[in-house]
Amino acid sequence: AQSVTQLGSHVSVSEGALVLLRCNYSSSVPPYLFWYVQYPNQGLQLLLKYTTGATLVKGINGFEAEFKKSETSFHLTKPSAHMSDAAEYFCAVSETGNQFYFGTGTSLTVIP
Amino acid sequence: EPEVTQTPSHQVTQMGQEVILRCVPISNHLYFYWYRQILGQKVEFLVSFYNNEISEKSEIFDDQFSVERPDGSNFTLKIRSTKLEDSAMYFCASKGSTFNTEAFFGQGTRLTVV
């Protein structure tokens, strides 16, 4: 069975500080992994995805994530937080690229 | 940039009424989805639709729900006899092909059942 656990429903960081949003998954086969971001009153926008190949993937807005099979993790990072990064972030897993299983989301607050 | 659009953005309905949530997927996409998110809970898969038929559905998607692509551009979710627990944000998504892994999501319709 596929599932995603996002540790920390709310994360606060200072502007310029490292952003680390945690995601652990379970899957019976090598998964596709995704991070989506949702700004207020907007849809889910893809930040980055891992399908195959290089385990460190880079996405939009300076975010990156590393697929660690041994830890079943796909944590999202950004070296320096910006005020515009404040949003809800969702990790998702899919075995087929068809049905997605989402985590409960992490709300990121950036403190000036 | 092409996007998935959903209407209305917010719908309030009385318990027991039928509602239709509308979505316009990206025009050349072939796979269509509905997801929902009850406040404070996970985004949950409801149904996927391909080639004018349901390809997968979750346990949530019971006889109360139906989907339709009536005119080749719209993709609708109908909820019959709404219940209070149907209150949620409903997201539509579309994907270009079976080889695409990225699904594009709409901004959601917030359904409130009173």
pLDDT tens digits along B37-52: 998 888 899 999 999 9
Contact A41 B9 (CB under 8 A): yes
Cα(B52)–Cα(B37) distance, rounded to whole angstroms?
25
Q: What is the chain A residue with the closest CA to B100?
A: A97
Contact A43 B105 (CB under 8 A): yes
pLDDT band at B98 (very low <50, low <70, confident <90, very high): low
Q: What is the 3-state secondary structure (H, E, C) of A25-69?
A: EECCCCCEEEEEEECCCCCEEEEEEECCCCCEEECHHHCEEEEEH
| Section A5-12 average pLDDT | 93
B71: pLDDT strictly greater than 80: yes
B43 interfacial to chain A (CB closer than 8 Å) = yes
pLDDT tens digits, A19-68: 999 999 998 788 899 999 988 877 788 999 998 888 999 999 999 999 99
Predicted pLDDT of residue B40: 80
Given CA atoms B67, B74, A40, A22 in this order, what sign does their dihedral have? positive
pLDDT band at B99 (very low <50, low <70, confident <90, very high): low
pLDDT band at B2 (very low <50, low <70, confident <90, very high): confident
Contact B104 A46 (CB under 8 A): yes
Predicted pLDDT of residue B67: 97
What tokens does A63 get?
């975010």
- Could you say which of B48, B58, B102 has the minimum Cβ distance to residue A49? B102
